Structure 1
Amino acid sequence: MNQVSYTPDWAYAWSGPLGQCSFKSLPDDFIVEEELPFVPDGEGEHAYINLQKTGENTDWVAGQLARFAGVKRSAVSYAGRKDRHGITRQWFSVWLPGQDSPEWSELNSDVLEVIDATRHGKKLKTGALKGNRFIITLRDVGVSHELLEERLNQIATQGVPNYFGTQRFGHEGVNIDRSLLMFSGSFKAHRNKRSIYLSAARSWLFNQVLSERVGQENWTHYLEGDIPGFQDSGSLILRDHDEDLMARIATGEVSLTAPMWGRGELLSGADCRKMEEEIAARNLLLCEGLEREGLKQERRAIRLVPVSMGWHWLSDDSIKLEFSLPKGCFATAVLREALECIEGRFDENTAK
C-alpha cells in the first residue's frame, strides 16, 4: 500500500514561530462567530436560530434543537461544524412548515444561549457561509511585544499559506490512515465518516503541494502555468495573465491556487502542473481513491490574508487577536506563523 508518513511539518512562510504560547486554556480564549452571506428575511417555513455553545459539538446541538422542537433530526441543518473546544456562535435552521416557532429561549443553559431567532424561506445549507470571525486569546506568550507585533503586521499585510489545519486529519493523522485503508478496500467506512476521510485525503494532498511551494519560496509568485483565483469566493481566473493581474497577485488581492484532487485534468500547465503531478505521483493511492469516489478536480487559494486583523495586549504575556477568514479557512494557519501554540484543553466542567 502507498504509505503516507503523517508528519505535519509543512513549510513556514515567515521563518517559523517566534516562541511558544498557551492556546485554548479557557473556553473564552477561542471564540468563533459565523458570518452568513445573507440576512434571514423574517418569514418562511424555516426557523433560524443563532446559538452560542460552549464545550459542545455542533451535531449535539442540532439534536437538542430537534428534540426541543419535536421534529426529526433531518429537519435541522447548519452551515458547518464548529470546534467543540471553545465558544462558538453559529446559525441553525429548523424546518417547521405550518408551525409557529417554540420559545427558543427555553433552551438556554450553562452551555447554550440563544442570541437571535427569526424565520427564512429556505433551509440553511452546508457551506452557506461568508466566513468566520475569530476572537482568540493567547496566554504565556514567550516573546517580546515588539517582535510579535512586527510578525503580526507581516501576517496582516502579506498573509500566510492557506493550509488546512491539523484537526482536519484527526489525532496523529488517523483520518489519513483510514482513507488509505478505505481506498485499498481493506476498511469499510461508515457512511457518516466517509466524507470526513475523503476530505482529509484531499486536504492532505493540497497541503503537500502548498508546502512545496512555500519551501521553494514561490507561493506568492507566479509560476508558468499557474491558475490565479480569489480566497473569498473560490472563483478562478482563466483569462490571459497580463501585467495587471500580476500586480494584483503581488498585492495579495488575487491568490495563486493548488489542486483539490479529483477526476479530470489539472487546470494548471507548464512548470506549475509538473510540480503538482510530481507530488500526485508520490501519493497515487490517495489520488486514485479520490478519483474513484467521483470527486472532481477543483482548486483552492494558497494564500490567506486575514480580514480586519487587530490585536491588543491584555497583560505582559497575554494578547487578544481578532480577524475574519473566508469559509473553510483555519485560524491555526494564521497562528502557526507567529507562535507555537501549545493547546491546553480547559476543564469542560468549568463551562457547565
Structure 2
Amino acid sequence: MPPHTGRFREFPEAFRVEEQMAFTPEGDGEHLWLHCEKRNMSTAQLIRHLSHQLEVAPRDIGVSGLKDHTALTRQWVSVAMTGRVTPVDLLALVERDGLRLLSFGRHPRKLRRGVHRANRFALYVSGDAVTQGSLETRWLELVAHGVPNYFGPQRFGHQGSNLTRAQALMARGWKKKQDRDGFLLSSARSFLFNQVLNARIQQGSWASGLEGDVFNLEGSASQFAGEALDDELQARLTALDIHPTGPMWGRGDGGVSGEARMLECHVAERDAVLAKGIESSGAAPMRRPLRLGLQSPSLERDGEGLWLHFSLARGGFATAVLRELFQHPAL
C-alpha cells in the first residue's frame, strides 16, 4: 500500500480523458459521428441530450466507451440519421452548458463498444504523496514495470452496491429480466478477476507469468497460450511487450492450464456462488490482461501538485494507476 495520502479530481479540469480512435469518419453514410467535449456530464446524460435534440431513439446512438462524469472528457458519438441530412443548425442543437461539438462527419456504420484504441489521460494530483516525494518514486516504478489492471471501484457501484446486488442475484440464479443491461453480471465477473489479480500479486506472478498462462500482446486484443516460460517469453514480459491474463469468468474452458488454471479454480471455489451464477448465465469466458503498460508517460510539476500524462489501452482504469501512487477513500 502507498505510504501517503493524495488528492485528485478536485475539479473537472483536473481529470481529463480523451478517446483515441484508430480511424475517423469516412465522410459519407447513414450515421452522423460527433466528436464531443463534455464537462461534468456522464456519457448516459450525453446520450439522453442528443436523443432529445436530434429526435432519435437512444438505441440509435452509439458510443465506444463510457466516460467519467466529474471530468473534462472527449469522445465520439454516432447518431443514426437514415434518410436525413445533417442539420444546418447542428452546433446550436448539440452544444449546451458543459458540452462542445469539436467536429463531425458522416460514416456508414454505427459506433460500436470497444472500438477505440486507447484513452489518453491528464490528471492533476496533490497532497502528502506529492510533497513527501513518494509519488514520483512510485510513478517511475509503474513506468518501468507496469500497473496491476484492476477494475476500478466505479464498476461495483456506490459503496459496492452493484456487487452486493450481484451476489444476491447469483445466489437466486441469474435472469436476464432482472439484469437487462448486464451491469450486475459484469460486476460479478470483474470482482472475480480482481480476486485472481490479488492472488497473483500475493504470489508474485502477476507480471512475471505462470506455467499455463495465456498472454496478451500490449495494446491489442491478440492473445496466445504460452506452453513454457522460456527465455524469449520472459524477455517480452520484462519489456512490457506481453502481459499475463486473468479470467473474465464464464461457462467453458478459459484457455489456461497448469499452475495458472489451478490458481483460478481455487479463487472460483472460494467465491463459488458468483462463479456458478456466472456460469449459469451462459456468459462466454474471456481473458483480460493482469498488467497495464503506461503508454507515452510523462510527469510535470505545477505549483503544489503534479500533472500525470499517460495513455491506457481500452478497458484500463486510471484509478488503477492512482491507487498504486497514493491512498484515497475513492481508490
User: What is the aligned partner in structure 2 of residue 308 from structure 1?
Assistant: 296
User: What is the aligned partner in structure 1 of residue 21 from structure 2?
Assistant: 36
1:217 aligns with 2:204: yes
The 1-side partners of 2:197 and 2:23 are apart by: 32
Provide closer, same or farther for how the CA distance between residues 34 and 191 of structure 1 changes in structure 2, counting only shifts above 3 A.
farther
User: What is the aligned partner in structure 2 of residue 161 from structure 1?
Assistant: 148
The 2-side partners of 1:300 and 1:89 are apart by: 25
- CA deviation map 1:174-224 (0-9, x unaligned): 111111211222897766654111111000000001111111112112222
Cα deviation for residue 297 of structure 1 reads 1.4
- CA deviation map 1:244-288 (0-9, x unaligned): 222101221110111110010232112221111111001111111
Cα deviation for residue 232 of structure 1 reads 2.2
The amino acid of 1:21's aligned partner reads: G
1:48 aligns with 2:36: no
Cα deviation for residue 67 of structure 1 reads 1.6
User: What is the aligned partner in structure 2 of residue 208 from structure 1?
Assistant: 195
In the TM superposition, what are the counterparts of 1:37-116 in structure 2 within 5 Å? 37-102=22-87, 103-106=89-92, 107-116=94-103
Choose between structure 1 and 2 for higher RCO, CA contacts under 8 A separated by at least 6 residues. 1
Match of 1:265 among 229, 253, 274: 253
Contact 1:18 1:143 in 2 (8 A): no
Q: Secondary structure at the match of 1:341?
A: coil
TM-score (norm 1): 0.88
Q: Secondary structure at the match of 1:322?
A: strand
Match of 2:138 among 124, 143, 151: 151
Measured on the aligned residues, the alpha-carbon RMSD in Å equals 2.0
Provide closer, same or farther for how the CA distance between residues 143 and 63 of structure 1 changes in structure 2, counting only shifts above 3 A.
closer
Contact 1:23 1:342 in 2 (8 A): no
Contact 2:212 2:225 in 1 (8 A): no
Cα deviation for residue 343 of structure 1 reads 5.5
Contact 2:300 2:307 in 1 (8 A): yes
Consecutive unaligned residues of structure 2, counting only runs of 5 or more, are: none
Contact 2:213 2:257 in 1 (8 A): yes
User: What is the aligned partner in structure 1 of residue 242 from structure 2?
Assistant: 254
Match of 2:217 among 196, 210, 230: 230
Consecutive unaligned residues of structure 1, counting only runs of 5 or more, are: 1-15, 345-352
The 2-side partners of 1:135 and 1:327 are apart by: 16
Cα deviation for residue 147 of structure 1 reads 3.7
The 2-side partners of 1:277 and 1:188 are apart by: 24
Contact 1:22 1:342 in 2 (8 A): no
The 1-side partners of 2:44 and 2:65 are apart by: 10
Q: Secondary structure at the match of 1:20?
A: coil
- CA deviation map 1:14-60 (0-9, x unaligned): xx214112211111111111111222111111100011111121112
Provide closer, same or farther for how the CA distance between residues 231 and 149 of structure 1 changes in structure 2, counting only shifts above 3 A.
same
Cα deviation for residue 75 of structure 1 reads 1.7
Provide closer, same or farther for how the CA distance between residues 150 and 174 of structure 1 changes in structure 2, counting only shifts above 3 A.
same
The amino acid of 2:232's aligned partner reads: D
The amino acid of 2:161's aligned partner reads: V
Cα deviation for residue 140 of structure 1 reads 2.7
1:334 aligns with 2:321: yes
TM-score (norm 2): 0.93
Contact 2:153 2:330 in 1 (8 A): no
The amino acid of 1:281's aligned partner reads: E
Deviates more, 1:270-279 or 1:180-189: 180-189
Number of aligned residue pairs: give it: 328
The 1-side partners of 2:172 and 2:329 are apart by: 37
Q: Secondary structure at the match of 1:132?
A: strand
Contact 1:20 1:342 in 2 (8 A): no
Provide closer, same or farther for how the CA distance between residues 82 and 192 of structure 1 changes in structure 2, counting only shifts above 3 A.
farther
